Amino acid sequence: MTTNLKEHFAAIALLAGSLSTMGANPPKQTERLNILWLSCEDISPTLSFYGDSTAHTPNLDKLAKESLVFTRAFATVGVCAPSRSSIITGMYPPSIGTMHMRTALDVAGWGNRKYPEKTLATDVAGKPVRQYSAVIPDYVKCFTEYLRADGYYCTNNAKTDYQFAAPITAWDENGNQAGWQNRPSGKPFFSVFNHDITHESQMWLNKKLPQTVKPESVPLPDYYPENSVVRQDVARNYSNIELLDQQIGEKIDELKKAGLYDKTIIFFFSDHGGPLPRGKREIYDTGLHVPLLVHFPGGAHAGRNDELISFVDLAPTVLSLAGIKPPEYMQGKAFLGKYKVPEPRKYIFGSGDRFDDFSDRVRMIRDKRYLFVRNFYPELPAYKDVAYRKQMDMMQELLRLRDNKELSGPTAYWFRLHKTKEEFYDCDTDPFNLTNKVDDPMYAAKINELRGALDQHINNIHDKAVIPESQMIEQMWPGGIQPVTAKSIVSNKKETIRISCSTPGASIGYILSEKEIKPDLNSGWQLYHEPVKAKDGMFLYVMSNRIGFADSEVVQIKTGRR
């Protein structure tokens, strides 16, 4: 465990663990509120409380009326895994080497944790990219470790997809059966439930389900042609959102039946923009702009908020709501709670690198009105021919129309064969980001402002994409071999157990059992953050892990006076 983390855990042990939100009086430690994340996949703000009433969503509508609704919330990347890496760490993906989609099969629960030397793609230098678990800076942790150290019971059900295997210290439970229902009596919880009914794959997997939204009634954005196949899939997306609403309603009902609704802060958000072509994977508003609402007990603070919110802000905000000071290394800033930053964001930053087997490098900055994009490889096509997406009927139809030269104007813009080095859009007058005004002298001052701020951001975060992905992997895994976390060192004296690990940045998990067991990843590892008391004759199991490294060997001892 690093010195910084030790000091931080020591500091939070002194905190009252109280909640202070937007001027509310902090309750006593025994009254700490629970925090529940109801996350979903692949939806834009195509919901009635954002002005699009195409889908019938009574449960979300009711929740939104009693919630703080954020109108300018943005993911850091327009695709799952890099976006989720920013959510769990509070860091920008290019700053920690998690920006390439996807590094391996560590997608749900504790992940696959196996990395065959199989070529995933080629990078921007044309070099092969293998499977790997990203080795992030040693001081960066999954933010849930800070919650666990402060007494929260943390559960995840069940998607992780962080670009690295979830460390055993991140969650008390992590899998399809995980939930707040299993927490010890009296413990506050932080629980995540991910809903995949709106995921891109459900566009074809749900193809035979009844359409609850009529294709002829759906609105089409300007970048889609009037076409029956397109309408059918757009309606499928809205129909999936209606299915999502039912699932959200069920989760809220469970909370109410348990008597916890008025003791829990509820977040609802999507991991990035919608699943349809020219949405997901894009660096425009269609790929990054997401719904976000936060519900406080009793409907406190309900209303609308137009501040700029980035997904790097979610981790420090949850810590702030729990009364925990976010660590200084986090690049996100708390927008609620005791440690809410005094000044709102001026800019949002986004990135796009490898998507499946197509490598690129694009960076974006946005303020409340304007969007500026830098293309590091303008010679590459704007459209990426991702095979996964082509399972969608409307994607096949768009490609047919393109090949037959039946697309023009806004409908053809996405398929341009080359990009300009820079792009600039007025999001108020051009909400779909289709008219590039980078050469318009009327906007010269604003373009220079955003260009300079983006340069500063890239330098400040030490953007790792300055080198090709294959070279970055070699730095993480020298010689193509995954580094291994060192075995833990255990000291057992006078009924007090102290544990350490020589690997910088390693976190330590342990199990104390009255009987001998064969521990696995689901055995309920506790986070070691302070000396542990244990009576004689117990079985102690210890495992360490640095993010991106292989887990250490498990150390087993029987406790007793020495």
User: What are the residue ranges in the chain where pLDDT is below 70?
Assistant: 1-30, 561-562
| Alpha-carbon gap, residue 421 to 225, rounded angstroms | 27
Can you state the percent helix, strand and coil of the chain, rounding each to 5?
A: 30, 20, 50
Q: Report the number of secondary-structure helices (H) and strands (E) in the chain.
A: 13, 21
Question: Cα–Cα distance between 144 and 41 in angstroms, integer?
Answer: 21
Which helix (H) or strand (E) segment is 458 a member of?
Answer: helix 444-460
Question: Of 425, 44, 367, 322, which is closest to residue 198 (Cα–Cα)?
Answer: 44
pLDDT digits 0-9 by tens, 83-96: 999 999 999 999 99
pLDDT at 493: 86
Q: What is the pLDDT of residue 47?
A: 98
Q: Which pLDDT does position 561 carry in this prediction?
A: 56
Taking the C-alpha atoms of residue 64 and residue 118, their distance in angstroms, rounded to an integer, is 45
Query: What percent of the chain has a predicted confidence (pLDDT) above 90?
Result: 93
The confidence score (pLDDT) of residue 30 equals 52
- Strand order of the sheet with strand 153-157? 173-174, 153-157, 189-195, 34-40, 264-270, 289-295, 68-74, 303-310
Distance separating alpha carbons of residues 214 and 207, to the nearest angstrom: 14
Q: List the catalytic residues.
A: 80
Calpha distance 210→55 (Å, rounded) = 14
Q: Which residues contact 396 (CB under 8 A, 6 or more apart)?
A: 390
Nearest to 453 by CA among 363, 375, 330, 360: 363
Q: Please report the pLDDT score of residue 14 as a whole number.
A: 32
pLDDT tens, residue by residue, 451-493: 999 999 999 999 999 999 999 999 999 999 999 999 999 999 8
Structural domains in the chain plus CATH codes? 34-309+345-351 (3.40.720.10), 489-558 (2.60.40)
